[in-house]
Chain A
Amino acid sequence: MTNKQLNINQVQAIDFVKYSGVSGDFNPVHTVPEVAQKNGHSQPIAHGMYIMGLATKALEEWYSKHHLLKFEVRFLSPTYAGDMLTITEKSNTEIKVGYFQGIIEVTDSQKQVKLKGNYELKRD
Protein backbone atom coordinates (compact mmCIF):
# COMPACT_ATOMS: atom_id res chain seq x y z
CA MET A 1 0.00 0.00 0.00
CA THR A 2 1.17 3.54 -0.71
CA ASN A 3 0.50 6.33 1.76
CA LYS A 4 -2.06 8.13 -0.38
CA GLN A 5 -5.50 8.53 1.08
CA LEU A 6 -8.32 11.04 0.69
CA ASN A 7 -11.27 11.30 3.04
CA ILE A 8 -14.49 12.57 1.55
CA ASN A 9 -16.94 14.47 3.74
CA GLN A 10 -19.94 12.35 4.62
CA VAL A 11 -22.01 12.01 1.44
CA GLN A 12 -25.55 13.33 1.74
CA ALA A 13 -28.81 12.77 -0.10
CA ILE A 14 -28.51 16.30 -1.48
CA ASP A 15 -25.22 15.28 -3.17
CA PHE A 16 -27.12 12.64 -5.15
CA VAL A 17 -29.71 15.25 -6.11
CA LYS A 18 -26.97 17.61 -7.29
CA TYR A 19 -25.22 14.85 -9.20
CA SER A 20 -28.50 13.89 -10.88
CA GLY A 21 -28.88 17.51 -11.96
CA VAL A 22 -25.42 17.97 -13.44
CA SER A 23 -25.11 14.53 -15.02
CA GLY A 24 -28.66 14.33 -16.37
CA ASP A 25 -29.11 10.87 -14.80
CA PHE A 26 -32.48 11.27 -13.11
CA ASN A 27 -33.02 7.61 -12.27
CA PRO A 28 -35.24 7.98 -9.17
CA VAL A 29 -33.46 5.13 -7.36
CA HIS A 30 -30.80 7.78 -6.57
CA THR A 31 -33.15 10.40 -5.18
CA VAL A 32 -36.63 9.11 -4.29
CA PRO A 33 -36.74 7.01 -1.09
CA GLU A 34 -39.91 5.08 -2.12
CA VAL A 35 -38.33 3.97 -5.40
CA ALA A 36 -35.12 2.94 -3.63
CA GLN A 37 -37.14 0.94 -1.08
CA LYS A 38 -39.20 -0.76 -3.77
CA ASN A 39 -35.91 -1.98 -5.21
CA GLY A 40 -34.56 -3.39 -1.98
CA HIS A 41 -32.54 -0.45 -0.65
CA SER A 42 -33.16 1.14 2.71
CA GLN A 43 -32.65 4.58 1.13
CA PRO A 44 -31.50 6.15 -2.16
CA ILE A 45 -28.17 4.92 -3.50
CA ALA A 46 -25.40 7.01 -5.00
CA HIS A 47 -24.83 6.94 -8.74
CA GLY A 48 -21.86 4.68 -9.44
CA MET A 49 -20.56 7.45 -11.67
CA TYR A 50 -20.64 9.87 -8.73
CA ILE A 51 -18.33 7.56 -6.77
CA MET A 52 -16.09 7.16 -9.83
CA GLY A 53 -16.03 10.95 -10.09
CA LEU A 54 -14.92 11.25 -6.46
CA ALA A 55 -12.16 8.76 -7.22
CA THR A 56 -10.93 10.99 -10.08
CA LYS A 57 -10.85 13.86 -7.58
CA ALA A 58 -8.42 11.84 -5.45
CA LEU A 59 -6.22 11.01 -8.46
CA GLU A 60 -6.19 14.65 -9.45
CA GLU A 61 -5.19 15.82 -5.99
CA TRP A 62 -2.42 13.24 -5.73
CA TYR A 63 -1.15 13.62 -9.29
CA SER A 64 -1.62 17.22 -10.33
CA LYS A 65 1.31 17.07 -12.77
CA HIS A 66 -0.06 14.02 -14.59
CA HIS A 67 -2.99 13.23 -16.80
CA LEU A 68 -5.18 10.17 -16.98
CA LEU A 69 -4.76 7.78 -19.88
CA LYS A 70 -7.12 5.12 -18.62
CA PHE A 71 -9.39 4.55 -15.66
CA GLU A 72 -11.37 1.38 -15.13
CA VAL A 73 -13.51 0.60 -12.12
CA ARG A 74 -15.82 -2.04 -10.72
CA PHE A 75 -18.72 -0.98 -8.54
CA LEU A 76 -18.84 -3.50 -5.72
CA SER A 77 -21.47 -2.25 -3.30
CA PRO A 78 -23.96 0.60 -3.06
CA THR A 79 -23.17 3.90 -1.32
CA TYR A 80 -25.87 5.48 0.85
CA ALA A 81 -26.33 8.94 2.29
CA GLY A 82 -24.39 9.15 5.55
CA ASP A 83 -21.52 6.94 4.37
CA MET A 84 -18.06 8.27 5.13
CA LEU A 85 -15.88 7.45 2.15
CA THR A 86 -12.14 7.02 2.03
CA ILE A 87 -10.20 6.72 -1.18
CA THR A 88 -6.99 4.74 -0.81
CA GLU A 89 -4.24 4.02 -3.26
CA LYS A 90 -3.26 0.36 -3.01
CA SER A 91 -0.35 0.39 -5.42
CA ASN A 92 1.50 2.57 -7.89
CA THR A 93 4.16 1.37 -10.30
CA GLU A 94 6.14 3.27 -12.90
CA ILE A 95 5.80 0.91 -15.87
CA LYS A 96 8.08 2.95 -18.09
CA VAL A 97 9.60 6.41 -17.73
CA GLY A 98 6.76 8.83 -16.97
CA TYR A 99 3.97 6.21 -17.16
CA PHE A 100 2.30 4.91 -14.03
CA GLN A 101 -0.22 2.19 -13.22
CA GLY A 102 -2.00 1.96 -9.92
CA ILE A 103 -4.90 0.51 -8.00
CA ILE A 104 -7.31 2.48 -5.84
CA GLU A 105 -10.26 1.60 -3.65
CA VAL A 106 -13.17 3.53 -2.24
CA THR A 107 -14.33 2.17 1.11
CA ASP A 108 -16.76 3.27 3.81
CA SER A 109 -16.07 3.51 7.55
CA GLN A 110 -16.99 -0.20 7.94
CA LYS A 111 -14.22 -1.02 5.40
CA GLN A 112 -16.81 -2.16 2.89
CA VAL A 113 -15.37 -1.71 -0.59
CA LYS A 114 -17.58 0.40 -2.85
CA LEU A 115 -15.31 0.68 -5.85
CA LYS A 116 -12.06 -0.88 -6.99
CA GLY A 117 -10.21 0.74 -9.84
CA ASN A 118 -7.10 0.60 -12.00
CA TYR A 119 -5.59 3.70 -13.48
CA GLU A 120 -2.88 4.64 -15.94
CA LEU A 121 -1.30 8.06 -15.76
CA LYS A 122 1.28 9.91 -17.76
CA ARG A 123 3.48 12.60 -16.30
CA ASP A 124 2.98 15.90 -18.19
Chain B
Amino acid sequence: MKEEFTHYYQSFEIERGKIKSFAKVLGLKNPIYYDKEEAQRMGYRDVVAPPTFPTVIDFCNDNDFYQLFSRLHLNPEKVLHGEQSYEYLEPICAGDTITGTVTLERMDEKRNMKFYHLKTIYRNQFKQISVISNSTLIQIP
Protein backbone atom coordinates (compact mmCIF):
# COMPACT_ATOMS: atom_id res chain seq x y z
CA MET B 1 0.00 0.00 0.00
CA LYS B 2 1.45 3.34 -1.07
CA GLU B 3 1.19 6.12 1.46
CA GLU B 4 1.63 9.80 0.82
CA PHE B 5 3.61 11.02 3.77
CA THR B 6 6.61 13.32 4.02
CA HIS B 7 8.33 14.71 7.07
CA TYR B 8 10.93 17.47 6.88
CA TYR B 9 13.55 17.68 9.58
CA GLN B 10 14.55 21.22 10.41
CA SER B 11 17.95 21.98 8.87
CA PHE B 12 20.49 20.95 11.44
CA GLU B 13 23.91 22.35 12.15
CA ILE B 14 26.52 19.71 12.88
CA GLU B 15 28.52 20.66 15.96
CA ARG B 16 32.00 19.45 16.85
CA GLY B 17 31.09 18.88 20.51
CA LYS B 18 28.02 16.83 19.60
CA ILE B 19 30.13 14.57 17.37
CA LYS B 20 32.70 14.16 20.11
CA SER B 21 30.25 13.17 22.84
CA PHE B 22 28.37 10.79 20.50
CA ALA B 23 31.61 9.07 19.43
CA LYS B 24 32.77 8.86 23.03
CA VAL B 25 29.62 7.11 24.29
CA LEU B 26 29.98 4.49 21.54
CA GLY B 27 33.64 4.04 22.48
CA LEU B 28 34.85 4.95 18.99
CA LYS B 29 38.56 5.56 18.83
CA ASN B 30 39.24 7.08 15.42
CA PRO B 31 40.77 10.57 15.97
CA ILE B 32 38.81 11.97 12.98
CA TYR B 33 35.81 12.23 15.36
CA TYR B 34 37.74 14.18 17.99
CA ASP B 35 40.54 16.17 16.42
CA LYS B 36 40.00 18.73 13.68
CA GLU B 37 43.65 18.76 12.58
CA GLU B 38 43.71 15.00 12.31
CA ALA B 39 40.45 15.03 10.31
CA GLN B 40 41.87 17.67 7.97
CA ARG B 41 45.08 15.71 7.59
CA MET B 42 42.85 12.84 6.37
CA GLY B 43 41.22 15.15 3.82
CA TYR B 44 38.02 16.16 5.62
CA ARG B 45 36.72 19.69 6.16
CA ASP B 46 36.44 19.21 9.92
CA VAL B 47 35.77 16.42 12.42
CA VAL B 48 33.60 13.73 10.86
CA ALA B 49 30.24 12.41 12.06
CA PRO B 50 30.34 8.67 12.92
CA PRO B 51 28.30 6.27 10.74
CA THR B 52 25.22 6.16 12.99
CA PHE B 53 25.23 9.91 13.70
CA PRO B 54 22.26 10.67 11.39
CA THR B 55 20.06 9.43 14.24
CA VAL B 56 21.12 12.58 16.15
CA ILE B 57 19.77 14.70 13.31
CA ASP B 58 16.43 12.87 13.70
CA PHE B 59 16.13 13.14 17.47
CA CYS B 60 17.81 16.44 18.35
CA ASN B 61 15.69 18.25 15.81
CA ASP B 62 13.09 20.97 16.12
CA ASN B 63 10.88 18.73 13.94
CA ASP B 64 12.06 15.58 15.64
CA PHE B 65 11.31 11.92 15.15
CA TYR B 66 8.63 11.97 17.84
CA GLN B 67 6.68 14.53 15.85
CA LEU B 68 6.91 12.15 12.92
CA PHE B 69 5.59 9.37 15.21
CA SER B 70 2.69 11.48 16.30
CA ARG B 71 1.88 12.45 12.70
CA LEU B 72 1.74 8.71 11.91
CA HIS B 73 -0.36 8.16 15.09
CA LEU B 74 2.35 5.95 16.55
CA ASN B 75 2.98 5.52 20.26
CA PRO B 76 6.79 5.37 20.62
CA GLU B 77 6.50 2.84 23.44
CA LYS B 78 4.75 0.46 21.03
CA VAL B 79 7.22 0.81 18.21
CA LEU B 80 10.20 -1.44 17.59
CA HIS B 81 13.08 -0.62 15.31
CA GLY B 82 13.19 -3.64 13.00
CA GLU B 83 15.74 -2.71 10.37
CA GLN B 84 18.11 0.12 9.61
CA SER B 85 20.39 0.77 6.67
CA TYR B 86 22.63 3.65 5.75
CA GLU B 87 24.25 4.36 2.45
CA TYR B 88 27.12 6.84 2.71
CA LEU B 89 27.70 9.12 -0.26
CA GLU B 90 29.43 12.17 1.21
CA PRO B 91 30.94 12.62 4.67
CA ILE B 92 29.04 14.72 7.22
CA CYS B 93 31.45 17.07 8.99
CA ALA B 94 31.23 19.61 11.79
CA GLY B 95 30.06 22.93 10.39
CA ASP B 96 27.79 21.28 7.83
CA THR B 97 24.10 22.12 7.70
CA ILE B 98 22.10 19.00 6.98
CA THR B 99 18.49 18.73 5.91
CA GLY B 100 16.57 15.48 6.10
CA THR B 101 13.44 14.50 4.23
CA VAL B 102 11.55 11.41 5.31
CA THR B 103 9.09 9.62 3.08
CA LEU B 104 6.90 6.68 3.93
CA GLU B 105 7.77 4.25 1.17
CA ARG B 106 5.42 1.47 2.17
CA MET B 107 3.26 0.29 5.01
CA ASP B 108 2.12 -3.27 5.43
CA GLU B 109 0.37 -5.33 8.06
CA LYS B 110 1.23 -8.79 9.30
CA ARG B 111 -0.28 -10.58 12.30
CA ASN B 112 -1.55 -7.49 14.14
CA MET B 113 1.69 -5.65 13.47
CA LYS B 114 2.14 -2.71 11.15
CA PHE B 115 5.43 -2.27 9.30
CA TYR B 116 6.40 1.26 8.31
CA HIS B 117 9.18 1.52 5.74
CA LEU B 118 10.71 4.98 5.92
CA LYS B 119 13.36 6.47 3.69
CA THR B 120 15.32 9.55 4.74
CA ILE B 121 17.52 11.54 2.41
CA TYR B 122 20.07 13.77 4.12
CA ARG B 123 21.52 16.60 2.07
CA ASN B 124 24.35 18.96 2.95
CA GLN B 125 24.75 22.70 2.34
CA PHE B 126 26.24 21.94 -1.10
CA LYS B 127 22.96 20.21 -2.06
CA GLN B 128 24.80 16.91 -2.22
CA ILE B 129 23.13 13.81 -0.85
CA SER B 130 25.28 12.79 2.14
CA VAL B 131 23.42 9.78 3.42
CA ILE B 132 20.39 7.70 2.47
CA SER B 133 18.70 5.92 5.35
CA ASN B 134 16.08 3.19 5.20
CA SER B 135 14.31 2.18 8.39
CA THR B 136 11.63 -0.32 9.22
CA LEU B 137 9.52 0.50 12.26
CA ILE B 138 7.20 -2.12 13.65
CA GLN B 139 4.11 -1.12 15.54
CA ILE B 140 3.20 -3.85 18.01
CA PRO B 141 -0.32 -4.23 19.44
Known: A19-B25, A52-B84, A69-B88. A35 touches B51 (CB 8 A): no
**Separation in Å of the B105 CB from the closest CB of chain A?**
15
Question: Which residues in window 7-36 of B have CB below 8 A to A?
Answer: 18, 21-22, 24-30
- Chain A neighbourhood of B27, CB < 8 A: 54, 57
The one of A15, A19, A28, A72 that contacts B84, using a Cβ cutoff of 8 Å: A72
- Chain A neighbourhood of B25, CB < 8 A: 15, 18-19, 21-22
Contact in complex: B52, A24 (CB < 8 Å) = no
State in angstroms the CA–CA spacing of A21 and B86 once bound together: 22
Can you report 10 residue pairs joining A to B where beta carbons are below 8 Å apart? Answer: A22-B21, A24-B59, A24-B60, A38-B77, A39-B78, A48-B81, A53-B51, A56-B26, A72-B86, A74-B82
The one of A15, A28, A50, A56 that contacts B50, using a Cβ cutoff of 8 Å: A56
Q: Is B115 an interface residue (CB 8 A)?
A: no
B interface residues with partner A (beta carbon < 8 Å): 18, 21-22, 24-30, 50-52, 55-56, 58-61, 64-65, 76-78, 80-88, 134
- Chain A neighbourhood of B134, CB < 8 A: 72
Contact in complex: B85, A73 (CB < 8 Å) = yes
Contact in complex: A25, B77 (CB < 8 Å) = no
Contact in complex: B30, A60 (CB < 8 Å) = yes
Given contacts A38-B77, A53-B51, A57-B28, 15 further A-B contacts (CB under 8 A): A19-B25, A22-B25, A23-B56, A24-B59, A25-B55, A29-B77, A35-B77, A39-B78, A49-B81, A49-B84, A61-B29, A69-B88, A70-B88, A72-B84, A75-B83
State in angstroms the CA–CA spacing of A15 and B27 once bound together: 11
- Chain B neighbourhood of A21, CB < 8 A: 21, 25
- Chain B neighbourhood of A75, CB < 8 A: 80-84
Question: Which residues in window 14-64 of A have CB below 8 A to B?
Answer: 15, 18-19, 21-29, 35, 38-39, 47-50, 52-54, 56-57, 60-61, 64
Known: A23-B59, A24-B60, A53-B50. A39 touches B77 (CB 8 A): yes
Contact in complex: A56, B82 (CB < 8 Å) = no
Known: A24-B60, A24-B64, A60-B30. A49 touches B55 (CB 8 A): yes
- Chain B neighbourhood of A49, CB < 8 A: 52, 55, 81, 84
State in angstroms the CA–CA spacing of A92 and B88 once bound together: 19
Contact in complex: A54, B26 (CB < 8 Å) = yes
**Separation in Å of the A7 CB from the closest CB of chain B?**
12
